[in-house]
Amino acid sequence: MSGIVAVIDYGMGNLHSVASALEHVGASEVVVTHDADVIRQADRVVFPGVGGIRDCMSEIRRLKCDELLAQALTQQQVPVLAICVGLQALMSRSEENDGVDCLDTIPGEVRYFGNPLTDAEGARLKVPHMGWNEVHQTMNHPLWAGIPDMTRFYFVHSYYAHAWDRSLLAGSVQYGVSADAALARDNLFAVQFHPEKSATAGLRLLKNFLEWNGQC
Amino acid sequence: MGLAKRIIPCLDVENGRVVKGVNFVDIRDAGDPVEIAMRYNEQGADELCFLDITASHEGRDTTVHTVEQIAEHVFIPLTVGGGIRAIEDIRTMLNAGADKVSINTAAIHNPELVRESAQRFGSQCIIVAIDAKRVDDVEGQPRWEIFTHGGRKPTGIDAVAWAMRMAELGAGEILLTSMDRDGTKNGFELGVTRAITDAVEIPVIASGGVGTLDHLVDGVIQGGADAVLAASIFHFGEYTVPQAKAYMAQHGIEVRR
């Protein structure tokens, strides 16, 4: 049973697609909210995000979503899935918007892809990193169940995360640099790509999340 | 290996119905955008693009409802273009479930709309559509100018310079349509495609003129496009998305399969 899935809404963009993808793969009840009472009672929490990190962080703090997230992770100990800027917000600091302090939940930094960015053969790579790229699974994890290694997921971002503790790396993606595509620790799984926009593979990951007991 | 080149089928939508129809085998209703979107999704399209050609206000409300329905059923990125004139239009489409909007004429009338919308919603969801036509200079050197009103009205704006300016203002992607080629099935105008892909850092979607699978290959290899958009070759069953991908892969292009 997936129970109640709370998608944390801090006002930065449309979260309907995350919610409808979760419903599509069988979530019985998905609530898009920043209501503390609802999130406290949720059985699973999704922490999404789009847009610039400075605005995201200021709204996360203003609406006390940082506290709710910390509580979900450590007190409720429910499965938590962070997506895209949600993952970046978990890091210590981002280079975006002239440097922004983030939540420091996963120590590490968020870096610009660089301009110019080139691949191993010296060909120029566009920024943002937009489209379907292969994710190398660097960890066995319940959220990868049924998804072959090097499956493509949909990415769109100009900044990428790099966690200091490399043992937390669950998936990596090559785009001029090796970027952290997925990070995992205890009941937290964080992805840089958009599972809700990644067709079958993304839906499988979301289904795995609904079935996950929060243990690696 | 790395990022795949994208294939994007494009549908014209009017009053919530796909016009010109789409001829898939076994399709119940050739005008139902949700059914058609699901088919392209099943075929492995990397994204979908809807061009709203509805004139009336009421009709546009229907389109919003259509976008909502598609977003409930199809889990790949969805772009909506046509009639996006103001921040409010963008918000409406994003709230309905579009992942990106494409701004065309409104960017020419008010370039600040691009900056403002990129700041508000993020560059990732702002595509600037450029309709370019070749207008060689006095020495016969190739030059491309932006045209509006379906290619009838020149603006005097150089397409390459405009693409660079739009990127600076915060556009996340350029959708480049060659008005000389659109509907001709003679292939992309590769000169302007290459000129713009070389000039900007952001991804470029090539559009206009696809008639064969070789055209898709040329758009990527010669034009340097990051994505190729096509309508009729897919709609009328000439080629499927998997056939297009297989052909591109044979020519050394990385695709998602």
Cβ separation A130–B226 shorter than 8 A: yes
Question: For residue B236, what pLDDT is reported?
Answer: 83
Mean pLDDT of B222-250: 94
Domains and CATH numbers, chain B: 6-250 (3.20.20.70)
| Confidence category of residue A67, pLDDT binned at 50, 70, 90 | very high
pLDDT exceeds 80 at position A4: yes
Chain A residues in contact with B125 (beta carbon < 8 A): 50
* Residue A216 included in any domain: no
Name the β-bridge partners of A104.
none
Question: For residue B183, what pLDDT is reported?
Answer: 83
On whether any CB of chain B is under 8 Å from the CB of A26, the answer is no
| Confidence category of residue B21, pLDDT binned at 50, 70, 90 | low
Question: For residue B136, what pLDDT is reported?
Answer: 84
**Strand (E) or helix (H) holding B205:** strand B204-207
Please indicate whether residue B12 is annotated as part of the active site: yes
Cβ separation A130–B203 shorter than 8 A: yes
Cβ separation B71–A20 shorter than 8 A: yes
User: Which pTM value belongs to this model?
Assistant: 0.95
- Higher pLDDT, residue A2 or A141: A141
- Higher pLDDT, residue B95 or B165: B165
Mean pLDDT of B171-191: 92
Chain B residues in contact with A13 (beta carbon < 8 A): 94, 121-122
Domain count of chain A?
Answer: 1
Answer whether the bond into residue A128 is a cis peptide, omega within 30°: yes
Which of B248, B237, B179 has its CA nearest to residue B213? B248
Chain B residues in contact with A132 (beta carbon < 8 A): 3-4, 6, 46, 256
On whether any CB of chain B is under 8 Å from the CB of A171, the answer is no
Integer Cα distance of A109 and A87 in angstroms: 11
pLDDT exceeds 90 at position B255: yes
pLDDT exceeds 90 at position B195: yes
Q: What are the angstrom distances between the C-alpha of A104 and each of A86, A90, A184?
A: 12, 6, 14
Q: Residue type at B86? A: A
Please indicate whether residue A196 is annotated as part of the active site: yes
Catalytic residue among A65, A84, A96, A102: A84
Question: For residue B9, what pLDDT is reported?
Answer: 95
Chain A residues in contact with B46 (beta carbon < 8 A): 131-132
Integer Cα distance of A116 and B201 in angstroms: 8
Mean pLDDT of A49-69: 92
| Confidence category of residue A115, pLDDT binned at 50, 70, 90 | confident
**CATH number of A69's domain:** 3.40.50.880
Cβ separation A199–B76 shorter than 8 A: yes
Question: For residue B63, what pLDDT is reported?
Answer: 86
Mean pLDDT of A60-86: 96
In contact, B145 and B160? CB cutoff 8 Å: no
- Nearest by CB to B71, which of A16, A156, A199? A16
Q: B-contacting residues of A 55-94, CB under 8 Å?
A: none
pLDDT exceeds 90 at position B120: no
| Confidence category of residue A57, pLDDT binned at 50, 70, 90 | very high
pLDDT exceeds 70 at position A7: yes
| Confidence category of residue A1, pLDDT binned at 50, 70, 90 | low
* Residue A89 included in any domain: yes
pLDDT exceeds 80 at position B25: no
Name the β-bridge partners of B53.
none
* Residue A44 included in any domain: yes
Domain carrying residue A36: 4-211
Chain A residue with minimal CA distance to B226?
Answer: A126
| Confidence category of residue A88, pLDDT binned at 50, 70, 90 | very high
Integer Cα distance of A4 and B38 in angstroms: 28
Cβ separation A50–B46 shorter than 8 A: no
Examine the predicted complex and report whether its ipTM is higher than 0.85.
Answer: yes
| Confidence category of residue B202, pLDDT binned at 50, 70, 90 | very high
Per-residue pLDDT reduced to its tens digit, B56-78: 777 778 889 999 999 999 999 99
Please indicate whether residue B218 is annotated as part of the active site: no
User: H-type helices in chain B, by residue range?
Assistant: 33-43, 57-73, 87-96, 105-109, 112-121, 159-169, 190-199, 213-221, 232-235, 241-250
**CA-based nearest distance B241→chain A, Å:** 15
On whether any CB of chain B is under 8 Å from the CB of A149, the answer is no
